[in-house]
Amino acid sequence: MKLTFRWYGDSDPVTLEKIRQIPTMSGIVSAVYDVAPGGVWSRESIAELKKKANDAGLEFEVVESVPVPEDIKLGNEKAPQLIENYCENIRRLGEAGVKCVCYNFMPVFDWLRSELEHAQPDGANALAYDHAEVLKMDPLKSELSLPGWDASYTKEGLRDLLNQYKEIGEEQLWKNLEVFLKAVIPVAEEVGIKMAIHPDDPPWGMFGLPRIITCEENYDRFLKLVDSPNNGLTFCTGSLGADPNNDLVKMASKYADRIHFLHLRNIKYDGDRCFEEVGHPTECGSIDMFGIVKALVDKDWDGYVRPDHGRMIWGEKGRYGYGLFDRALGATYIAGLFEAVEKLR
């Protein structure tokens, strides 16, 4: 496996120099941020990103994310051109040596939380989600706490989008995903890129929006849409694990050969559809991190892994979920877990 770390580019207070000093770190996970979703990434921007990483002694083999524009998810008349642009990005990333691309197919919202600074007993604070709180909010009044939120939506634009999704529902979303995959996966095969869809976070619908990358049954369906090794998964334990019905150890074992990217993170259940993010180790939360890693290692899994959201500790202020300290602790925990499990085989 290769241990990686997300880097948000030059504006990220967590610098490449700091990332490099995390023991056993192989490379960064990043993206070109100077083009709006749907646009084609310039070869220069891709090359520059790669050079920055390499100059800092880090690889650049994983992109998170090449965002899928809403028009593709909605399957409207703009979709064909945007899918062509998407394929062009995959070609260019392949040429630049990228091996794995993470993306998601969540309508409108990316990851969603009801609280950004949930206080914890040890003085840390972390992201938290309470479904009852989320349902009280009105997305049209910008009452949502959305660290992944695209702030460029206007109220009218958002209302319009929400209405369009009401019309398409889950089945049409599946069809639009299939159209997307049938165009993109052959290109990924050609240029040697493993596509890795991120699960919906949390794995259930809200505000009338469909969400489909949520559970084992839907993973089975997804993987069959295009049955190719290049059509794979980002196995995000914190996202999938928010639904206790998802048996993550079983799923890790079952899908090992299609899991190209692993987001290892722990959460603690605080009630029905209510959870908070915690330190990465198994003991800190509700997810069996050891069991998941063991299931993968037992299948000779080899892919990219990164620590995921960290808590804010030691007084750090920064991008929610993406500070340095707790993610670095998570990284060394992950490295230790893999070392132990691999050596004990």
State the number of CA atoms in the 13 A half-sphere of 313 facing the CB.
16
Nearer to ligand DNO, 238 or 294 (CB): 238
Eight-class DSSP state of 145: B
Is the dihedral angle over the CA atoms 31, 216, 174, 191 positive or is it negative? positive
* Per annotation, catalytic residue among 86, 87, 198, 280: 198
What minimum distance in Å lies between the beta carbon of 321 and ligand DNO? Answer: 5
* 150 is known as an active-site residue: no
* 320 is known as an active-site residue: no
What minimum distance in Å lies between the beta carbon of 65 and ligand DNO? Answer: 3
* Per annotation, catalytic residue among 87, 102, 215, 236: 236
Nearer to ligand DNO, 231 or 294 (CB): 231
Nearer to ligand DNO, 92 or 263 (CB): 263
Closest CA to 264 of 244, 288, 300: 288
DSSP letters for 206-260: BTTB---S-SHHHHHHHHHHS-STTEEEEEEHHHHHTSTTS-HHHHHHHTGGGEE
* Per annotation, catalytic residue among 165, 201, 255, 263: 263
Residues within the interface to ligand DNO (CB under 6 A): 64-65, 102-104, 110-111, 148, 198, 263, 309, 321
What minimum distance in Å lies between the beta carbon of 137 and ligand DNO? Answer: 19
What minimum distance in Å lies between the beta carbon of 68 and ligand DNO? Answer: 8
* 198 is known as an active-site residue: yes
* 308 is known as an active-site residue: yes
What minimum distance in Å lies between the beta carbon of 279 and ligand DNO? Answer: 16
Q: What is the rounded CA–CA span in Å between residue 164 and residue 139?
A: 15
Nearer to ligand DNO, 80 or 148 (CB): 148
Phi/psi-derived region of residue 111, left when phi > 0, alpha when psi is between -120 and 50, beta in every other case = beta
Is residue 4 classed exposed, middle or buried when 0-12, 13-18 and 19+ CB atoms within 10 A define those classes?
A: buried
Nearer to ligand DNO, 263 or 294 (CB): 263
Q: Which residue has the tokens 């960290």?
A: 310
Catalytic residue numbers, as ranges: 198, 236, 263, 308-309, 322
